[in-house]
């Protein structure tokens, strides 16, 4: 006689069959499925006759239901399982096992709850969290929340990494802990911003600086999210931290670039007129000094005027150099002799308590350079090092060596061979904030009147123009190290020419000088006549051109200013050369750009001289025209 599959108790039978969760009864003796309810059949996708009476292996549970049944000990045991439906799809469930006696035999009642949807949501949440984490890490962001009443903050590992700390910190943390990461100068502003948000409920962002454990500054932007009702009820604020250091640096670089462009425009605009004034001052001063006896009491005052005008001219050159508005004269030369010469000149100005130690390689290290600019670099860096060490004793080390860089060595520099000039001092050093601004024009930490703030700006401009790079390493109390990389040149190094003590005298060559500044025409005429030239001075380019066209052979050389009101020096040169193709033309200006030099070359101009050109420079320029280019003697 068949035994009833489940207890005859009507209440148990009703509960078993009408339950919204799946129920299965398994007989221990043979592992047969003796009963299953409709909810379980729907969950698995089977019909009753396909399962009842079949072995337990018919149910494809992981772990197998047989093992679960064997592990049951009479009380409810919970397991999380996966199962295969009749159509082959996978599901997830919670299985509760209870061992009981039915008809004097051991049976297990398995209650199954379908949690497939929950597991899919959990998986989706995990994937979403992973995507969010990847997005936050890739975007240099981290999340946070704040409970103002409790004074606690939570932040994720991504935010912890932004602070420069190791992930895994216990949460929550007091809000004071988060404020410790903020730069001391920004803490009050950050706290006030959060307080203001609590009062107004108006979402706003704030940017502030943080100090990483290594002392580096970084910029963090805080975005406060719009509160959802459940957050508002909990009294909690949520938002994100964003690392905007790269953006800030790019913004600062853009601002610096705009400053330099503005200063370059200003410098270019005033350089010509200012250098004309300086030329008149220095030229007439030197003429007056030459006219007076050496022991005349006015000589000292005139000498001071001359030195002051030279310093002013140097300042203009430095402004034009750092703003890249003045193209230097470059030639391939060995770097070591120039560095040695610069150090010889700087040594007398360095206190005896400061040692200058050098280690310069024996290689030629050819570099396309302007020797004057290399002097400026060494002088500026050595002067800064001296100021950093004073008033105590100290050491300045200067090293010159070859450096071979690959593609990853220095950002912005192509791989290849470089000459590396290193200047290291054991002075006071600089903090991160100062280090970020050292190349800003007019930035200085020295007292007013002791520095112009252009020294390192000039160095930076020179190195950039030469296609090199500067690396600075410094920390408070640890001194400063400047590494400057110059690309080496493949051309042959030219031997240094001996400097002439003064210009050679002319032999009556006829010079036509044109400048719309009457004072300069008067000055240059006197200077050149004293040097033995015959000078025809003009303030009107049209009249000068008429004189050339009237008798081209009566002029041996034309010296013209570039910027004149009625005619440019280029136009005058073209017209003069149209009248006589072999007529030497020399161009002079207080402001010459790289494109101006190219235009001058195309016009046939022999040489460009920068104002305020001294008596010697004018004389040497004419010497080069008449001697080096074998210009004919004046026509008799």
Q: Using DSSP, state whether 490 is helix, strand or coil.
A: coil
Q: Are 109 and 129 in contact (CB under 8 A)?
A: no
| Range name among 248-252, 453-457, 544-548 with the lowest pLDDT average | 453-457
Q: Are residues 235 and 160 in the same domain?
A: yes
In the block, which residue shows the tokens 């920390």?
475
Listed residues 321, 345, 371: the one ending a domain:
321
Instruction: Determine, yes or no, domain membership for 636.
Output: no
CA-based nearest residue to 108, from 83, 74, 80: 74
Q: Is 476 in the same domain as 349?
A: yes
Across 34-38, 42-46, 168-172, least confident range = 168-172
331-334/152-155 β-pairing? unpaired
Mean pLDDT for all residues in the chain: 80
Contacts of 563 (CB under 8 A, 6+ apart): 272, 569, 589, 591
Is the sign of the CA dihedral 402, 407, 411, 413 positive or negative? positive
473 and 415, same structural domain?
Answer: yes
Whole-structure pTM value: 0.47
Last residue of a domain, one of 243, 273, 303: 243
Average pLDDT for 183-203: 80
477 to 143, 195, 380: CA distances (angstroms):
37, 39, 21
Report if residue 1 sits inside a domain: no
**Per the structure block, which two tokens stand in for 309?**
């005008």
Q: What is the mean pLDDT of residues 533-541?
A: 94
Percent of the residues in the chain that have a pLDDT greater than 70, as a whole number: 81
Q: How far is CA 286 from CA 1, 18, 531, in A?
A: 138, 118, 14
Question: At what angle are helices 298-322 and 455-465 packed, to 10 degrees?
Answer: 50
474 within a domain of the structure (yes/no): yes
> Which range (32-36, 289-293, 422-426, 592-596) has the least confidence?
592-596
Q: Per the domain annotation, does 70 fall within a domain?
A: yes
Taking residues 14-35, report their average pLDDT: 88
Span 301-346, pLDDT tens digits: 898 888 888 878 777 776 666 555 555 566 788 888 889 888 887 8
Q: Which residues contact 140 (CB under 8 A, 6 or more apart)?
A: 162, 242, 243, 244, 246
Please report which confidence band the pLDDT of residue 500 belongs to, taking 50, 70 and 90 as the band edges.
Answer: very low
User: What's the CATH code of the domain at 348?
Assistant: 3.30.565.10
Contact (Cβ atoms closer than 8 angstroms) between residue 104 and residue 126: no
440: CB partners within 8 A, 6+ apart = 256, 259, 453, 457
Query: What pLDDT band is residue 535 in, cutting at 50, 70 and 90?
Result: very high
Domain limits for position 590: 510-628
Cis ω for the linkage preceding 93 (within 30 of 0): no
- In angstroms, the CA 133 to CA 113 distance is 32
Question: Which has more pLDDT, 376 or 454?
Answer: 376
Summarised one tens digit per residue, pLDDT across range 377-386 is: 888 889 888 8
In a domain, 123, yes or no: no
Same domain, 556 and 614: yes
Q: Return the pLDDT at 498.
A: 41
Can you give the pLDDT at residue 452?
53
Residue 522 sits in the same domain as residue 566: yes
Which residues, at least 6 apart from 120, have a Cβ–Cβ distance to it below 8 Å? none
Mark whether 214 and 313 lie in a shared domain.
Answer: no
Q: Which helix (H) or strand (E) holds 145?
A: strand 141-147
Q: How far apart are CA 228 and CA 236, in angstroms?
A: 10
CATH of the domain at 313: 1.10.287.130
Q: Single out the residue in 114, 145, 178 at which a domain terminates.
A: 114
CA distance 561 to 600: 12
Residues 6+ apart with CB under 8 A from 106: 27, 28, 29, 99, 100
We report the CATH number of the domain holding residue 153 as 3.30.450.20
82 and 132, same domain (yes or no) = no
> Which of 123-137, 299-313, 398-412, 573-587 shows the lowest mean pLDDT across its residues?
123-137
Given this model, what pLDDT does residue 636 score? 35
Number of domains the chain contains? 5
Tell me the β-bridge partners of 400.
360, 421
Q: Is 364 part of any domain?
A: yes
Any domain includes 261:
yes
Same structural domain for residues 456 and 366? yes
CB atoms within 10 A of CB 61: 22
**499 part of a folded domain:** no
pLDDT at 327: 56
pLDDT digits (tens, 9 = 90+) for 580-628: 999 999 998 877 777 888 899 999 998 888 887 656 777 888 887 776 5
Identify whether residues 50 and 176 lie together within a single domain.
no
Mean pLDDT of 386-401: 89
């Amino acid at each position: 006689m068949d035994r009833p599959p489940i207890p005859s108790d009507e209440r148990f039978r009703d509960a078993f069959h009408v339950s919204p969760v799946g129920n299965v009864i398994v007989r221990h003796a043979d592992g047969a499925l003796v009963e299953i309810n409709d909810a379980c059949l729907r969950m698995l996708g089977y019909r009753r006759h396909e399962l009842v009476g079949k072995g337990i292996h018919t149910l494809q549970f992981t772990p197998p239901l047989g093992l679960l049944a064997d592990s049951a000990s009479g009380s409810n045991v919970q397991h999380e399982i996966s199962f295969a439906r009749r159509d082959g799809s996978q599901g997830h469930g919670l299985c509760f096992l209870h061992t009981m006696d039915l008809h004097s035999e051991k049976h297990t009642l398995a209650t199954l709850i379908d949690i497939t949807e929950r597991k899919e949501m959990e998986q989706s949440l995990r994937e979403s969290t992973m995507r969010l984490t990847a997005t936050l890490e890739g975007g240099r962001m981290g999340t946070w929340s704040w409970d103002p009443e409790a004074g606690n903050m939570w932040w994720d590992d991504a935010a912890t990494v932004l602070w420069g700390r190791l992930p895994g910190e216990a949460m929550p943390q007091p809000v004071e802990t988060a404020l410790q990461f903020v730069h001391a100068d920004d803490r009050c502003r950050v706290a006030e911003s959060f307080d203001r948000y609590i009062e107004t409920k108006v979402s706003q962002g704030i940017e502030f600086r943080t100090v990483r454990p290594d002392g580096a500054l970084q910029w963090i932007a805080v975005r406060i999210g719009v509160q959802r009702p459940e957050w508002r009820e909990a009294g909690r604020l949520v938002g994100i931290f964003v690392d905007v250091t790269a953006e800030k640096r790019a913004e600062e670089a853009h601002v610096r670039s705009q400053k330099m462009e503005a200063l370059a425009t200003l410098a270019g605009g005033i350089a010509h007129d200012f250098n004309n004034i300086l030329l008149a001052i220095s030229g007439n001063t030197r003429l007056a000094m030459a006219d007076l006896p050496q022991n005349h009491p006015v000589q000292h005052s005139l000498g001071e005027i001359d030195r002051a005008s030279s310093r002013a001219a140097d300042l203009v050159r430095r402004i034009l150099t750092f703003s890249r508005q003045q193209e230097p004269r470059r030639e391939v030369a060995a770097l070591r002799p120039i560095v040695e010469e610069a150090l010889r000149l700087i040594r007398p100005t360095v206190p005896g308590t400061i040692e200058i130690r050098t280690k310069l390689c024996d290689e030629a290290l050819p570099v396309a350079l302007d020797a004057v600019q290399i002097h400026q670099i060494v002088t500026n860096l050595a002067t800064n090092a001296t100021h950093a060490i004073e008033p105590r004793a100290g050491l300045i080390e200067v090293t010159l060596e070859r450096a071979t860089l690959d593609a990853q060595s220095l950002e912005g520099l192509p791989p290849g061979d470089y000459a590396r000039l290193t200047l290291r001092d054991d002075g006071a050093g600089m903090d991160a904030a100062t280090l970020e601004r050292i190349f800003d024009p007019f930035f200085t930490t020295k007292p007013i009147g002791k520095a112009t703030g252009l020294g390192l700006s000039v160095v930076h401009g020179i190195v950039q123009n030469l296609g090199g790079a500067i690396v600075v390493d410094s920390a408070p109390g640890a001194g400063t190290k400047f590494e400057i990389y110059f690309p080496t040149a493949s051309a042959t190094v030219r031997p240094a020419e001996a400097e002439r003590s003064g210009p050679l005298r002319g032999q009556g060559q006829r010079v036509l000088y044109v400048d719309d500044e009457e004072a300069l025409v008067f000055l240059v005429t006197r200077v050149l006549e004293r040097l033995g030239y015959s000078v025809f001075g003009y303030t009107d380019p049209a009249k000068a051109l008429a004189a050339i066209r009237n008798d081209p052979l009566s002029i041996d050389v034309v010296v013209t200013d570039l910027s004149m009101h009625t005619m440019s020096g280029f136009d005058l040169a073209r017209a003069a050369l149209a009248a006589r193709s072999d007529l030497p033309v020399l161009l002079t200006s207080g402001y010459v750009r790289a494109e101006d030099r190219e235009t001058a070359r195309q016009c046939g101009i022999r040489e460009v001289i920068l104002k305020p050109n001294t008596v010697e420079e004018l004389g040497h320029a004419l010497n080069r025209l008449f001697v080096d280019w074998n210009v004919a003697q004046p026509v008799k």
